[in-house]
């Protein structure tokens, strides 16, 4: 069975600080996909990134970066120079590549960035 753990329930930072959101996953499959979603106060889910299990390269997109480490089953998300608009709930999710897999979410981390 697949499982995603986001141990940080809530994080508060001051604007311009860097912040890392942790994600640890469990799966028996060797092929799987990891996702991060952002949920702003308006409630919609905003897709941020999808990474497959064979691609361990770290990725950077503007102020966002992701560190994927298969050895520790982690897919952590860092926001550099945080801004108030980054305040949201962030979800990490996992989908195995087997034919009957579904998307399993972590419980989310609420990030509050204050001015």
Partner 1 sequence: DADVTQTPRNRITKTGKRIMLECSQTKGHDRMYWYRQDPGLGLRLIYYSFDVKDINKGEISDGYSVSRQAQAKFSLSLESAIPNQTALYFCATSDSGRYYGYTFGSGTRLTVV
Contacts to partner 1 by CB under 8 A? 6, 9, 33, 35, 43-45, 47, 50, 52, 91, 95, 97, 99-100, 102-108
- Tell me 33's DSSP state: E
Of 21 and 108, CB closest to partner 1: 108
Q: How far apart are CA 110 and CA 78, in angstroms?
A: 14
- For residue 72, give the 3-state DSSP assignment: helix
Length reported for the chain: 115
Closest approach, Cβ 23 to partner 1, in A, equals 12
Closest approach, Cβ 74 to partner 1, in A, equals 17
Residue keyed to tokens 């469990």: 26
Tell me which H or E stretch contains 77.
strand 74-79
Closest approach, Cβ 76 to partner 1, in A, equals 17
Of 81 and 103, CB closest to partner 1: 103
């Amino acid at each position: 069975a697949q499982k995603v753990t986001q141990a940080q329930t809530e994080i508060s930072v001051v604007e311009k600080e860097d912040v890392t959101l942790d994600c640890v996953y469990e799966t028996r499959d060797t092929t799987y996909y990891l996702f991060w979603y952002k949920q702003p106060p308006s409630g919609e889910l905003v897709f941020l990134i999808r990474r497959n299990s064979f691609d361990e390269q770290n990725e950077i997109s503007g102020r966002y970066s992701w560190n994927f480490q298969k050895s520790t089953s982690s897919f952590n998300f860092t926001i550099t120079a945080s801004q108030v608009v980054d305040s949201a709930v962030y979800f990490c999710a996992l989908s195995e590549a087997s034919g009957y897999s579904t998307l399993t979410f972590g419980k989310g981390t609420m990030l509050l960035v204050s001015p």
